[in-house]
Amino acid sequence: MKIYTKTGDQGSTALIGGKRVAKHHIRIDSYGTVDELNSWIGLIRDQEIPESSKDILKNIQDKLFTIGSMLATDPEQKPGKAGQSRIKIPSLKEEDIALLESEIDRMNEALPPMTHFILPGGHTTVSYCHISRTVCRRAERLASLLNEHEPFNPDILIYLNRLSDYLFVLARNLSDFLKADEEKWIH
């Protein structure tokens, strides 16, 4: 299988289902940003962090591939429609969102209460979490815009929203684990 196909040389790309759209289409920007987020999360997972966090991050990466596939699918494509091959795309489940929520709660219980906003930083690994959080927020904004024009499974927006919260709490949790100072924004 060749990596390059030359089919995108004129600025278009194919969605799952075959429909071609411009590479700057909001759908491409949405799942491209989810892909970027997945790469940043891989960088966090490569750090010296607890194995339990690595396991959750690997699960998150799997779910981000699912979200990317869902967003990359032509919204007019109907699985099993006569004359078309059946498209099988994984889906998000309520338990995927529940896992993020339970991890947020578990980590948050062990942390001191927040009294101020926290400046990103303190340790490289913590900074990777904050970068991932901001990329996640961008992915959420782009997906929200896409959803206004071409509605999709609402669990995608819920998952991205919860994931940004998870990444914030993970940053705090890893600050504690790595004995890094949390710098408060005080005015």
pTM of the model: 0.91
Type of residue at 32? G
Task: Note whether 184 and 118 are within 8 A (CB).
Answer: yes
**Three-class SS state of 70:** helix
Domain 18-74+91-185 grouped into CATH 1.20.1200.10: yes
- Rg, the chain, Cα only: 19
Query: pLDDT tens digits for 133-173?
Result: 999 999 999 999 999 999 999 999 999 999 999 999 999 99
Task: Note whether 87 and 79 are within 8 A (CB).
Answer: yes
> How many other CB atoms are found less than 10 A from the CB of residue 142?
21
Query: pLDDT tens digits for 6-35?
Result: 878 889 998 998 899 889 999 999 999 999
